[in-house]
């Protein structure tokens, strides 16, 4: 198994003890050595103390998903090992803090009762009898190598050398785990040193300390001969191409900046907040040098570049309505939230739809319903996004499948919003938001900026001089009326959530009502016609597909990896990723699916996409593969499930349940 899947590394510990930072150094290291990486985070809705872990897979070829098992487990607390010991691959390594061998299962309050019982049962010992040594022994019986590292010795040495207090230094357990792992993998120490520097920027003292700790960890691992005992190694690869490591939150945030979004509102919520924090940290915006030079000649003020206003609002109702207000003024505006916040935005969404305001909402799905599992994954909001709001109004819903698409689709979201003058919901999920991946490049100009039809001061003057009134909601062939920004000279207009006439004044006239309703709704038709097939869906045809996988959003990662895996076995499968969920690409999809055997893959309970497909095309999948335990789909479980559909052993509905 390990060969096909590359290398997997897992670091775990209590929330607040630097798991993510450690993982980031590890990722930077293996990436700098020339490997492609994929990394995913699992954590509790908690600030400190609960178990959190970070999983990293890396390989010589591009990868985009995780497997359930690891080659190395890097731990500095006991809980991590109690939880993950049985996920080890046959010849895996477990790095642990030698001091913890006596810790008993009963001493770990953060392990759920159910899990405690399960572990206790598995080892046939009461929790207060079951200690870490026993766990490790058992693992070793299965071929795992358990490598004790003396964390205290390392930190004591550092404390002596630097004068830092030992208690302040315990935060560096993470880097011991990381460095020990890299030492096991025989990675050039210099690569790690550089990764540390990169991670900590200009915090010199921190870099020094981390480097020192790492050196001692390398020494310990090497001197104890662990690296020899462990049969995997990471030679530095020759590789000159520039690469980036990004997660979905970041890709969307950078996409928003690129798209020209200049007003972002948010109310803090996991897993959406990171996007807004990122924007806040980049609120002062630079313009491309060549352009900024160009513009300077015309407009003096632009010399000073621009900025994005990022507003922390009092709630999500204010977030969507404030963003809508900014959009009316002419700014590309957006907000970002997850389920609970989106639930509060519904009325505002309807108003934007009714008033044809281009506003973009990034909706990061997480485990639902209600507060649900705030830090876990799910794709449970699809139908809700499509139908949110009383009455009927047009909206576009799109769902990128990976980090690259997240970037490009963000720009498209604003284009659609402005071109068709409607709210656009850009759906991601916690998995895509929080998982990092190596990407080769971002082509900033692959997607052009399209602001739709906007009348400016001078055009309005002409209209005025021609004795014509500007009509914000003028009836037109394609449903789209030229837009004017609030504050533009030579015009005024009105908006109202009530049904209105072309000027925007309230009307209850049944005839105008019908026309206005038809005008609004027809924009979806216009969009359907204009948006090219390749933006609506990705189709990865195979010559002789055994089955067609249909899915959406972040499942793309494991599915693409699966396709490669199956190809290695000589099995071909098709893959259709629906990217625009509303207006639904019914004809396109019917064309592709009719007569095929297909399996629907989704991270939710009800197989919502399959429902949409059937509603719109009449077609029904032969198989469903769903998952809703809050953990993303792993490559290995998907492999098994899809293979069963190919061999027709599968029941109609398979529920995936892997993940810790």
Partner 1 sequence: MELKLKLTDYRTDVHNNWCPGCGDFGILSSIQQALFEMQLNPSKVAIISGIGCSAKTPHYINGYGIHTLHGRAIPYATGLKLANPELEVIVTVGDGDGLGIGAGHFVHAGRRNVDFTVVLYNNEVYGLTKGQAAPTLNIGVKTKSLPKPNINQAINPILLAFAAGYTFIARGYAYEVKHLKELIKQAISHKGSAFVEVIQPCPTYNDIHTKEYWSGKGNIDPKTGKEVPRYYKLEETGYECIITDETTEEEYLNKITNFIKKAYESGNRVPIGVFYRDLRFATYEERLSSRMPTYKISPPAKQEIADKKGNLITNIDKILEEFAI
Ligand X SMILES: Cc1ncc(C[n+]2csc(CCOP(=O)(O)OP(=O)(O)O)c2C)c(N)n1
CA separation, residue 290 to residues 147, 234, 303, 591 (Å): 55, 42, 12, 45
Contact segment (CB under 8 A) with a copy of itself among 174-182, 391-399, 440-448, 590-598 equals: 391-399
Contact segment (CB under 8 A) with partner 1 among 133-141, 440-448, 605-613, 632-640 equals: 440-448
Q: Does 273 interact with ligand SF4 (rule: CB under 6 A)?
A: no
Per the structure block, which two tokens stand in for 74?
A: 């890097």
Q: Does 605 interact with a copy of itself (rule: CB under 8 A)?
A: yes
Q: Does 454 interact with partner 1 (rule: CB under 8 A)?
A: no
Measured from the CB atom, the residue of 73 and 269 that comes closer to ligand X is 269
User: Which of 240, 370, 543, 647 is in the footprint of a copy of itself by CB under 8 A?
Assistant: 370
Contact segment (CB under 6 A) with ligand X among 139-147, 186-194, 262-270, 595-603 equals: 262-270
Which secondary-structure segment (H or E) carries 171? Answer: none
Which secondary-structure segment (H or E) carries 431? Answer: helix 430-434
Q: Does 626 interact with a copy of itself (rule: CB under 8 A)?
A: no
Contacts (CB under 6 A) with ligand X, residues 296-325? 316
Q: Does 622 interact with a copy of itself (rule: CB under 8 A)?
A: no
Which secondary-structure segment (H or E) carries 450? Answer: none
Q: Does 396 interact with a copy of itself (rule: CB under 8 A)?
A: no
Q: Does 499 interact with a copy of itself (rule: CB under 8 A)?
A: yes
What is the pattern of x (binds partner 1, CB under 8 A) and - over residues 296-315?
-----xx-xxxxxx-xxxxx
Nearest CA to 528 out of 638, 419, 366, 446 is that of 419
Contacts (CB under 8 A) with a copy of itself, residues 25-44? 44
Measured from the CB atom, the residue of 47 and 511 that comes closer to ligand SF4 is 47
Long-range contacts of 15-18 (CB under 8 A, 24+ apart): 15/43, 15/44, 15/46, 15/47, 15/48, 15/49, 15/50, 15/51, 15/52, 16/47, 16/48, 16/49, 17/76, 17/77, 17/171, 17/173, 17/174, 18/171, 18/172, 18/173, 18/174, 18/175
CB 135 within 8 A of CB 206: no
Q: Does 553 interact with a copy of itself (rule: CB under 8 A)?
A: no
Quote the DSSP letter at residue 85: G
Q: Does 388 interact with a copy of itself (rule: CB under 8 A)?
A: yes
Q: Does 267 interact with ligand X (rule: CB under 6 A)?
A: yes
List the single partner that 47 binds among ligand X, ligand SF4, a copy of itself, none, CB under 5 to 8 Å by kind.
ligand SF4
Q: Does 52 interact with ligand SF4 (rule: CB under 6 A)?
A: no
Q: Does 373 interact with a copy of itself (rule: CB under 8 A)?
A: yes
Contacts (CB under 8 A) with partner 1, residues 211-230? none
What is the pattern of x (binds ligand X, CB under 6 A) and - over residues 332-371?
--------xx--x--------------------------x
User: Which of 162, 476, 490, 538 is in the footprint of partner 1 by CB under 8 A?
Assistant: 490
Nearest CA to 26 out of 73, 67, 96, 60 is that of 73
Nearest CA to 257 out of 291, 228, 283 is that of 283
User: Shortest gap between Cβ of 596 and partner 1 (angstroms)?
Assistant: 38
Nearest CA to 86 out of 44, 115, 126, 108 is that of 115
Per the structure block, which two tokens stand in for 54?
A: 């970070």
Contact segment (CB under 8 A) with a copy of itself among 226-234, 333-341, 400-408, 569-577 equals: 333-341
**Which residue's Cβ lies closest to ligand SF4?**
47
User: Shortest gap between Cβ of 52 and ligand X (angstroms)?
Assistant: 17
Measured from the CB atom, the residue of 392 and 457 that comes closer to partner 1 is 457
User: Shortest gap between Cβ of 307 and partner 1 (angstroms)?
Assistant: 4
Measured from the CB atom, the residue of 48 and 444 that comes closer to ligand SF4 is 48
User: Shortest gap between Cβ of 268 and ligand SF4 (angstroms)?
Assistant: 13
Measured from the CB atom, the residue of 47 and 466 that comes closer to ligand SF4 is 47
Quote the CA–CA distance of 500 and 3 in Å, as a whole number: 64
Contact segment (CB under 8 A) with a copy of itself among 127-135, 398-406, 565-573, 609-617 equals: 609-617
Q: Does 17 interact with partner 1 (rule: CB under 8 A)?
A: no
User: Shortest gap between Cβ of 631 and a copy of itself (angstroms)?
Assistant: 6
Quote the CA–CA distance of 383 and 448 in Å, as a whole number: 30
User: Which of 171, 232, 287, 512 is in the footprint of a copy of itself by CB under 8 A?
Assistant: 512
User: Shortest gap between Cβ of 292 and partner 1 (angstroms)?
Assistant: 8
Which secondary-structure segment (H or E) carries 57? Answer: strand 51-59
Indicate the Cα dihedral angle 310, 313, 317, 323, nearest 10°: -20
Q: Does 466 interact with ligand SF4 (rule: CB under 6 A)?
A: no
Quote the CA–CA distance of 211 and 190 in Å, as a whole number: 10
Cis peptide before 193 (omega within 30 of 0): no
User: Which of 5, 32, 47, 207 is in the footprint of ligand SF4 by CB under 6 A?
Assistant: 47
CA separation, residue 97 to residues 144, 344, 573 (Å): 16, 46, 45
Q: Does 288 interact with partner 1 (rule: CB under 8 A)?
A: yes
CA separation, residue 494 to residues 50, 84, 392, 514, 610 (Å): 52, 60, 21, 19, 41
Quote the DSSP letter at residue 569: T
Quote the CA–CA distance of 385 and 424 in Å, as a whole number: 10
Cis peptide before 427 (omega within 30 of 0): no
Give 376's Cβ-side CA count (13 Å radius).
21
Contacts (CB under 8 A) with a copy of itself, residues 95-124? 112-115
Q: Does 61 interact with partner 1 (rule: CB under 8 A)?
A: no
The residue ranges that bind ligand X (CB under 6 A) are 267-269, 316, 340-341, 344, 371
Residues that bind ligand SF4 (CB under 6 A): 47-48
């Amino acid at each position: 198994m390990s060969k096909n899947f590359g290398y997997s590394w897992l670091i775990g510990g209590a929330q607040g003890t630097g798991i993510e930072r450690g993982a980031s150094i590890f990722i930077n290291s293996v990436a700098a050595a020339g490997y492609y990486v994929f990394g995913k985070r699992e954590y509790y809705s908690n600030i400190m103390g609960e178990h959190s872990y970070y999983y990293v897979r890396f390989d010589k070829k591009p990868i985009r998903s995780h497997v359930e098992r690891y080659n190395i487990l890097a731990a500095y607390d006991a809980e991590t090992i109690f939880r993950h010991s049985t996920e080890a691959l046959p010849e895996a390594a477990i790095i642990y803090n030698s001091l913890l061998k006596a810790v008993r299962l009963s001493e770990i309050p953060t392990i759920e009762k159910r899990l405690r019982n399960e572990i206790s049962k598995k080892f046939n010992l009461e929790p207060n009898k079951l200690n870490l040594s026993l766990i490790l022994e058992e693992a070793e019986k299965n071929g795992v190598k358990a490598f004790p590292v003396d964390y205290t010795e390392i930190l004591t040495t550092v404390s002596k050398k630097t004068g830092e207090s030992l208690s302040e230094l315990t935060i560096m357990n993470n880097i011991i785990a990381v460095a020990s792992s890299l030492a096991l993998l025989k990675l050039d120490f210099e690569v790690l040193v550089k990764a540390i520097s990169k991670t900590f920027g200009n915090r010199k003292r921190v870099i020094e300390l981390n480097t020192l700790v790492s050196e001692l960890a390398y020494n310990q691992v090497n001197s104890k001969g662990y690296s020899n005992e462990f049969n995997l190694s990471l030679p530095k690869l020759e590789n000159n191409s520039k690469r980036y490591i990004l997660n979905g939150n970041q890709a969307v945030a950078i996409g928003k900046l690129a798209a020209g979004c200049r007003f972002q509102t948010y109310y803090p919520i996991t897993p959406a907040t990171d996007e807004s924090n990122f924007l806040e940290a980049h609120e002062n915006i630079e313009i491309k040098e060549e352009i900024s030079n160009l513009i300077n000649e015309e407009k003096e003020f632009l010399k000073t570049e621009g900025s994005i206003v990022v507003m922390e609002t009092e709630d999500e109702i204010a977030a969507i309505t404030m963003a809508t207000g900014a959009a009316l003024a002419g700014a590309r505006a957006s907000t970002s939230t997850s389920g609970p916040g989106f639930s509060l935005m519904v009325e505002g969404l309807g108003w934007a739809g009714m008033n044809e305001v281009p506003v973009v909402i990034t909706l990061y799905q997480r485990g639902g319903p209600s507060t649900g599992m705030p830090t876990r994954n799910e794709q449970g909001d699809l139908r809700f996004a499509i139908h949110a709001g009383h009455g009927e109004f047009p909206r576009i819903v799109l769902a990128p499948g990976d980090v690259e698409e997240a970037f490009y689709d963000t720009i498209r979201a604003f284009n659609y919003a402005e071109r068709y003058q409607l709210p656009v919901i850009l759906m991601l999920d916690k998995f895509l938001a929080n998982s990092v991946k190596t990407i080769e490049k971002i082509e900033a100009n692959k997607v052009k900026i399209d602001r739709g039809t906007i009348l400016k001061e001078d055009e309005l003057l002409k209209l005025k001089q021609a004795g014509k009134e500007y009509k914000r909601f003028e009836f037109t062939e394609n449903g789209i009326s030229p837009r004017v920004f609030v504050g533009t000279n030579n015009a005024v207009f009105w908006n109202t959530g009530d049904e209105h006439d072309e000027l925007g004044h309230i009307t209850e006239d049944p005839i105008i009502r019908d026309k206005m309703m038809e005008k609004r709704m027809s924009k979806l038709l216009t969009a359907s016609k204009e948006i090219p097939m390749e933006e609506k869906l990705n189709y990865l045809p195979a010559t002789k597909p055994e089955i067609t996988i249909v899915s959406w959003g972040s499942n793309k990662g494991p599915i693409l990896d699966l396709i490669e895996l199956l190809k290695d076995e000589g099995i071909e499968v098709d893959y259709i990723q629906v990217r625009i969920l509303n207006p639904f690409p019914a004809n396109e999809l019917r064309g592709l699916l009719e007569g095929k055997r297909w399996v629907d893959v989704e991270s939710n309970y009800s197989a919502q996409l399959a429902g949409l497909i059937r509603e719109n095309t009449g077609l029904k999948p032969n198989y469903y593969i769903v998952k809703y335990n809050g953990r993303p789909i792993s490559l290995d479980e998907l492999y098994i499930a899809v293979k069963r559909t190919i061999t027709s052993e599968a029941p109609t509905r398979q529920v995936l349940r892997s993940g810790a």
